Every structure is written in C-alpha cells, then in structure tokens.
Amino acid sequence: MESSAKKRIYLSSPTMHGDEQHFVAEAFDTNWVAPLGPNVNNFETELAAYTGCGYAAALSSGTAAIHLGLKLLGVGEGDVVFVSSLTFSASCNPIVYEKATPVFIDAEPDTWNMSPQALERAFEKYPNPRAVVVVHLYGTPAKMDEIMHICERHKVPILEDAAESLGSTYDGKHTGTFGRIGIYSFNGNKIITTSGGGMMVSGEEALVKEARVLSTQARDAARHYQHSKIGYNYRMSNIDAGIGRGQLMHLDGHLRLKKAIYKRYQEAFADIAAITMNPLNPKGDANNWLSCMTIEQGSKVTPDMVMDALEAENIESRPIWKPMNLQPVFAAYDFMSHNESGISVGEDIFNRGVCLPSDIKNTDADMDKVIGIVRGLFQK
Ligand SMILES: *Cc1c(COP(=O)(O)O)cnc(C)c1O
C-alpha cells in the first residue's frame, strides 16, 4: 500500500552515512568547536590527497573560495575578468565584490562550458584580463586543453570553479587542479556536503597559506592583534569539516550512483528523438552531479510542461542556470557569444533544458516514476 502523502523526490539533497557523526562527535568530545581544529586540517589533507590538488584551504563556502582566489590572483578595481556565462551567480559575484569587471563568455554546445572560440574573441577585445574563471557545469569537464592553451598564450591565470565537479576528471586529472587556483563547494545540494562550505586549492603552497591567513581575519604573526591587511571571516568550522571528512569517505560511492542515474535516464529516453541528455566530455569522466535534458526546438513539449508535470507528483526539478549575461544585475557587462550571429548557446540551452531529479537516494521506483511522467508527455 502506498502511503497517502506522496514522498518528495529531490533534485539533489544531502546523503549522510553515519561516518560524519563520528568526526562531529569527536569534535564535541575534545571541545574543538571552532573555525579551526583537527577536522579542518585533516579534511584539507584528505581532499588534497583525493584530488591531487597539492594544497587546500577549508573555507565557509565555495563563494568565499572564489573571492579569496580572485584576490590572490591580484584581481582588483578596474580589472577585467573573463567568466563562464552559463553558471550560477556565485561564479561571478566575487568579481563584482572586488569592483572588477566581469566579461561573460558563452558556452559551447559540446560540453555546455566556456567556448574556446568565444574566449579567443574576448582576448581580441580585452587583451589584458587579470584572470579567467572556468566552470565545469553540472560536473562535465570543460575543454581544458583548448582553454589552457589560449590562457597560456596570453599568460593569464585560470581560476577553476569546480564547485559542481568534485570527482570529475579530464585526461585522468581531477577538475579543480588545472588552474593556478581551483575551488570546490560543499553546499547542501553538491555531490558531497558539509551543510555549507568550500575549499580553495592550488599546487602553490604559498597561495593556500595566504588563503588561510586571509580567511581568519589576516592576523600578523604577533602576540597582540595586529593587522597589515584586510581579512575575512571565511574559515570552515571544525564541526563542518567533520561532516566533510565523513562525506569524503563516500565520494566514490556517490560518483557511482550519480553515473547510474545519468545512464538510466539516457537509456530510458534513447528512443525519444526530441530528448537529448546533457553532454559529457569524451576526454573526461564526469561526476554527473545533475542529469539534465534538452528538448528539441519545435517540440510541443516545453521545459515548463516537464517541470509542472513532475511538480504535480511532488517531484523536484529545475531549469538550467539562467545565463549571467541575461541577468538584470549584470546587464551592464559585456558578453562574448559562441556564435557570430543569432541566439547564444547558453540562452538556447536555458530555453530548452531541464535539470532532472538526480538525488542518489532515489529508488528504482522513484526513477521509474520520473521517467514514466517524462515519457508520457512526449508520447501524447
Ligand atoms: C554552488 C556553486 C558555487 C558556490 O558555492 P557555495 O558553496 O554555495 O558558495 C559556485 N559556483 C558554482 C558553479 C556553483 O554551482
């Protein structure tokens, strides 16, 4: 018998295992209830070992990690920073915190990430950006060979926003470890969570040490409270880091489950010509954080119809990120399109796309239900 209230099926909600509580309890027992402590140090070391990033600084959010990362790359007032346009606003808000100028770079259709050809054209128009922020959307690695080649030629550092792509690899190397600086997010909906948190990573120890200083109010090495620069309260708490350590032990399991969800949708919709799953990168291995679909132009089924039909059954889904170049708050900033004319790639994906329920706690029956509803719309 089905219970009368329909259980909600989620897009991507936290999945806890019990190991998290062990590390949190240890923090309580030893009274390390502070934005420093053994869980913080160990979470950094363990994440660095997992990703091969070199060094890591545990912070209060992915956004804080981007903010400090930009500061460490010297981004300041009046600087131009190139950033992926098809992303969440957290990728570019910190550029504006620093009174720098974002220039939005369109997506390309192969991976939905930064278009190398739009990036090339951005360099023609703005030859001296201070940094390039590259996002790996929904866990699919960007075309890093092409993007890094262009950035190296112009001697501009990359800040890799791997908030959504922890565990994804490109050429066998973890996303987040290609740029001079990388960042991860542990927000509640990401592939692993600390409830809220982030990590700034780099192969350069000095940058990560400086991130730790800046994130703890930038105290000088003196007994008294002395400050020679402006600091932030951006450090991760030892409690949250305990959750993160427990989660990291299960990241490989999460990756397997996310991949299975993607494969299941892909197979289930294979015979519906109007549906295409979000692209993967043949040079990489995605973490499949969210499984998304696009609907062929001209189909009588719209993304709103899919989202409404799912919501009617208490199933969460959502639109693709609305590109930053279409956001009222960023209307004043320039945008470099992938196409020479017509609609941008990002806007086209936004218009035709839906993020499908990708929660790793979804049962086979949940997945069948979602698939049945979507297929039903296209078979009418
Ligand atoms: C989630 C996310 C962030 C921000 O991370 P928070 O930890 O929520 O601050 C940044 N960039 C992208 C692409 C994200 O999806």
pLDDT of residue 298: 94
Q: How far is the CA of 313 from the centre of ligand 1 (A)?
A: 28
Q: CATH 3.90.1150.10 occupies which residues in the chain? A: 252-379
Q: Please, are residues 40 and 238 in contact by the beta-carbon 8 Å criterion?
A: yes
Q: How far is the CA of 183 from the centre of ligand 1 (A)?
A: 9
Element (H, E) at 259: helix 251-268
- Rounded Cα–Cα distance for residues 49 and 69 (Å): 20
Q: Please, are residues 60 and 236 in contact by the beta-carbon 8 Å criterion?
A: yes
Name residue, tokens 């007032």. 77
Domain 19-248 grouped into CATH 3.40.640.10: yes
Q: CATH 3.40.640.10 occupies which residues in the chain? A: 19-248
Percent of the chain with pLDDT over 70: 99
pLDDT of residue 80: 98
b/e sequence 122-153, b meaning 16+ C-beta within 10 Å = bbeeeeebbbbbbbbbbbbbbbbebbbebbee
pLDDT of residue 122: 98
SS3 65: helix
Output the ligand 1 site: residues, CB below 6 A.
Answer: 61-63, 87-88, 90-91, 135, 161, 163-164, 185, 187, 198
**What residue owns the CA closest to ligand 1's atom 14?**
163
Q: Which atom of ligand 1 is nearest to the CA of 186?
A: 7
Q: Which of 161, 165, 175 to mutate to test the pocket of ligand 1 (most atoms within 8 A of CB)?
A: 161
Q: How confident is the model at residue 309 (pLDDT cuts 50, 70, 90)?
A: very high
pLDDT of residue 39: 98
Torsion from C-alpha of 349, 126, 151, 65, nearest 10 degrees: -70
pLDDT in tens, 327-345: 999 999 999 999 988 899 9
Judge whether residue 302 has pLDDT over 90. Answer: yes
pLDDT of residue 312: 98
pLDDT of residue 1: 45
Q: How confident is the model at residue 6 (pLDDT cuts 50, 70, 90)?
A: confident
Judge whether residue 4 has pLDDT over 70. Answer: no
The CATH fold assigned to 252-379 is Aspartate Aminotransferase, domain 1 (3.90.1150)
pLDDT of residue 181: 98
pLDDT of residue 77: 98
Percent of the chain with pLDDT over 90: 96
Q: Which of 59, 87, 104, 185 to mutate to test the pocket of ligand 1 (most atoms within 8 A of CB)?
A: 185
Q: Which atom of ligand 1 is nearest to the CA of 64?
A: 9
Judge whether residue 128 has pLDDT over 60. Answer: yes
Name residue, tokens 């027992």. 29
Q: Which of 83, 88, 133, 183 to mutate to test the pocket of ligand 1 (most atoms within 8 A of CB)?
A: 88
Q: How confident is the model at residue 380 (pLDDT cuts 50, 70, 90)?
A: confident
Give burial (CB, 10 Å; 0-12/13-18/19+) of 67: buried
pLDDT in tens, 232-257: 999 999 999 999 999 999 999 999 99
**What residue owns the CA closest to ligand 1's atom 11?**
91
Q: Which atom of ligand 1 is nearest to the CA of 91?
A: 11
Compute the mean pLDDT over every residue in the chain, rounded to the nearest whole number.
97
